[in-house]
């Protein structure tokens, strides 16, 4: 083999040499994603802790809920809540409602912004009581808060313009809630938009023919946002 062909062989080997066998390339990528995801979760937990001190509220943790089709109480990172609220672009004329508000973390974040009213709806009386206490203690509130202890499917939504859900209930209840929202728009025509975090039953809104999706976020594993989010708005009436 002459020098030229040897060099060509070395170049060719370098191009085709796989990464070290001990760490396959796919594992390197997923390990990086895994570590990035852990770091993002830790960052969220730390910043959530300090945000609760600053706002003077207590919303962390989980709590079982005994109601048919209900998802138990849990919440998600303040950082992500702020991003979702930014995307929903609350204005001083908006009435915002969190369907399944739990201890009121999202309600309290929304109340820091200028709007007409912030409403929290939850089926569990104890969670509603905690949400009321949190709203009363909240530092920096700019908008009044009302907490309603009723099933979301039985609410009158006719004054609401911005809605929010963090996967609060199963398909059957989502279907009833979508029908209640559509009914309220028919009775009181207006534009409605909403954010659905961990959107397990997005198809209900898509198939209703009354809403269009105006955004969808699918975060990578290392993101501080830990759930998909879909954004919907009501279609203008013909
Ligand atoms: C995953 S937690 C979300 C809490 C809150 N939205 C947040 O993001 O911090 C779901 C909540 O939905 C409530 N929920 C479940 N079924 C409901 C229903 N039919 N009507 C109203 N609230 C309901 C539960 O009690 C629970 O607090």
Q: What are 172-183's pLDDT values in tens digits?
A: 999 999 999 999
Rounded to 5°, the CA angle 138-53-125 comes to: 50
Tens of pLDDT, residues 52-76: 999 999 999 999 999 999 999 999 9
Domains and CATH numbers, the chain: 78-234 (3.40.50.150)
- Please, which residues bridge with residue 116 across strands? none
State the burial class of residue 41 (Cβ atoms within 10 Å of its Cβ: 0-12, 13-18, 19+): middle
Residues 178 and 57: their CA atoms lie apart, in Å, by 31
Reduced to 3 states (helix: H, G, I; strand: E, B; else coil), residue 166 is: strand
Spacing, Cα 65 to ligand 1 middle (Å):
8
What pLDDT score was predicted for residue 25? 44
Mutating to test ligand 1, I would choose from 48, 71, 126 the residue with most ligand atoms within 8 A of its C-beta, which is 71
What pLDDT score was predicted for residue 238? 67
Tens of pLDDT, residues 129-179: 999 999 999 999 999 999 999 999 999 999 999 999 999 999 999 999 999
Please indicate whether residue 169, judged by its CB atom, sits closer than 6 Å to ligand 1.
Answer: yes
**pTM score, two decimals?**
0.88
Overall size of the chain counted in residues: 238
Nearest CA to 151 out of 202, 75, 195, 100 is that of 100
Between the CA of residue 152 and those of 48, 137, 155, 190, what are the distances in Å? 27, 25, 5, 20
Pairing between strand 193-197 and 229-234? antiparallel
What pLDDT score was predicted for residue 16? 42
Tens of pLDDT, residues 200-218: 999 999 999 999 999 999 9
Residues 121 and 110: their CA atoms lie apart, in Å, by 14
Please indicate whether residue 106, judged by its CB atom, sits closer than 6 Å to ligand 1.
Answer: yes
Residues 48 and 167: their CA atoms lie apart, in Å, by 20
Mutating to test ligand 1, I would choose from 48, 58, 73, 132 the residue with most ligand atoms within 8 A of its C-beta, which is 73
Spacing, Cα 101 to ligand 1 middle (Å):
5
Spacing, Cα 151 to ligand 1 middle (Å):
9
What pLDDT score was predicted for residue 31? 85
């Amino acid at each position: 083999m002459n020098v030229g062909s040897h060099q060509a062989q070395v170049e060719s080997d370098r191009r085709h040499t796989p990464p070290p066998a001990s760490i396959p390339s796919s594992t390197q990528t997923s390990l990086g994603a895994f570590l990035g995801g852990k770091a993002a979760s830790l960052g969220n937990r730390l910043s959530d802790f300090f945000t609760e001190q600053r706002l003077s509220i207590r919303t962390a943790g989980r709590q079982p809920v005994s109601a048919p089709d209900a998802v138990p109480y849990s919440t998600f990172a303040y950082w992500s809540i702020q991003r979702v609220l930014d995307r929903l672009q609350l204005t001083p004329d908006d009435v915002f409602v969190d369907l399944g508000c739990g201890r009121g973390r999202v309600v309290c974040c929304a109340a820091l912004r200028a709007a007409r009213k912030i409403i929290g709806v939850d089926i569990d009386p104890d969670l509603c009581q905690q949400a009321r206490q949190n709203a009363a203690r909240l530092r920096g509130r700019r908008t009044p808060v009302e907490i309603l202890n009723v099933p979301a499917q039985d609410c009158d939504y006719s004054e609401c313009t911005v809605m929010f859900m963090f996967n609060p209930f199963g398909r059957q209840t989502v279907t009833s809630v979508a029908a209640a929202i559509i009914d309220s728009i028919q009775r009181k025509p207006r534009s409605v938009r909403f954010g659905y975090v961990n959107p397990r039953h997005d198809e209900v809104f898509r198939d209703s023919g009354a809403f269009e999706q105006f955004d969808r976020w699918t975060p990578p594993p290392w993101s501080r946002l830990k759930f998909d989010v879909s954004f919907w708005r009501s279609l203008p009436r013909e």
